[in-house]
Amino acid sequence: MEKTEFKKLITMLDKEIESYEVLKSLFEEKRDVLKKAKSSDLVEVDNRIIAQSNSITKINKTRQELSYNYTGKDCSMSDFIEIIGSENEQYKTELEERKVKICNILDELTLLNNQNVELLKHGIVMTDKMLETIVDAFAPQGSNYNGAGKTDTHDLNMWTVNEEIWW
């Protein structure tokens, strides 16, 4: 691989790493928003996450094009390291460093995403319980009515008690 092509690959990988770092910070922001239960802020953060994901998709397409131009197929990082590393040991080292960075960031992203999913599930459960409480507070209690449609008060018949005391 020529030095200019390699520099283009490294630049693209650095942009990818930077984009994943931004995505990681957005996932952390989303986690904080979910903890605070601010649904209006959640929409804004989700929109920024989608935009960042689209940016990462464009970078990946650039990597695919570079891969096709150089090898004729879509290569993974391991393939790049194997193919390019056989030509130049310095290139291999630089690619391996970037692979480690990408793998570490992706592990962190996976963890943050799983935390956010659990927070969303918890929020759904809490919302459901709140709705049940509100509905129960405003709904008429059907068990308070007897067969004639009147409320049963279950008051003691004071006449009977008075009769027993007086006799």
* CATH node for 3-139: 1.20.58
State the CB neighbour count (10 A cutoff) for residue 131.
Answer: 10
Q: Which two tokens stand for residue 44?
A: 């804004």
Per-residue pLDDT reduced to its tens digit, 139-160: 666 555 556 656 655 555 555 5
User: Mean pLDDT, to the nearest integer, of 22-38?
Assistant: 90
CA 109, CA 115: separation in Å to the nearest integer?
10
User: Mean pLDDT, to the nearest integer, of 33-41?
Assistant: 84
CA 63, CA 74: separation in Å to the nearest integer?
8
Single pTM value for the model: 0.71
Is pLDDT at 167 greater than 60 in this prediction? no
Domain map (residue ranges) of the chain: 3-139
Residue for token pair 């990082």: 77
Average predicted confidence (pLDDT) for the chain: 82
CA 1, CA 15: separation in Å to the nearest integer?
20
Q: Indicate the Cα dihedral angle 139, 143, 144, 148, nearest 10°.
A: 110
Q: Which amino acid appears at position 55 of this protein?
A: S
Per-residue pLDDT reduced to its tens digit, 100-125: 999 999 999 999 999 989 988 988 88
